[in-house]
Amino acid sequence: MKTAYLDTNVFVASYKPDDVFHEASTAIAKALGRGEIRGQTSTLTILESAAVASRTIRIRKGDDERDVRRRAVGRAILNLSRLGLKFIHILGDSSTPMDSYKVEMPAIFHQALLLASDVGLKSFDLVHLAAARYSGQMDSNVGAFVTGDRGFLRKKKDLSRIIGMPVLSPKEYVEGLGIGT
């Protein structure tokens, strides 16, 4: 069975009809839900999905804003939980030298920091890149990093080399597997 590392934006795009990758991302989510493919993603995806749900939910006049946001966040987390995803988290802390002292930081942040000078991406993107590389190192069945992020897709040749697997758009992944909605 095919396994891919999936960036948060794949899940977000499946809920946004105006997203350029909506159709392909929806096909990926449905295939995950049916157990036709396997997906891995960073634990960061849980936080990012909750933040998107809380930030974009429509609050109507008279609504209890906190209650509406809480329900939206709960739905976002529930939707992720129904996809059978494996959530990637590098355990432990790493000691990072900072001039005359060392800073303890989560291992995933340390790995992302090591990638920063190589790729020039945003902080959360670096965390996903580090998690994807770790995912591929721990599971040889992980065959692609799927993302709709333009920054990743513009640099996909270099990023593919760095993480040891192809970086694909949701559309490329769906077409490559021959899955549909």
Specify whether the backbone of 164 is left (phi greater than 0), alpha (psi in -120 to 50) or beta.
Answer: left
Domain that holds residue 123: 3-177
Q: For residue 181, is pLDDT > 60?
A: no
Total domains present in the chain: 1
pTM: 0.91
CB of 159 closer than 8 Å to CB of 152: yes
CATH number at residue 149: 3.40.50.1010
Report the 10 Å Cβ neighbour count for 62. 5
pLDDT digit string (tens) for 82-138?
999 999 999 999 998 888 999 999 999 999 999 999 998 999 999 999 999 999 999
| Helices 123-138, 156-163: inter-axial angle, 10-degree rounding | 40
Q: How far apart are CA 166 and CA 158, in angstroms?
A: 10
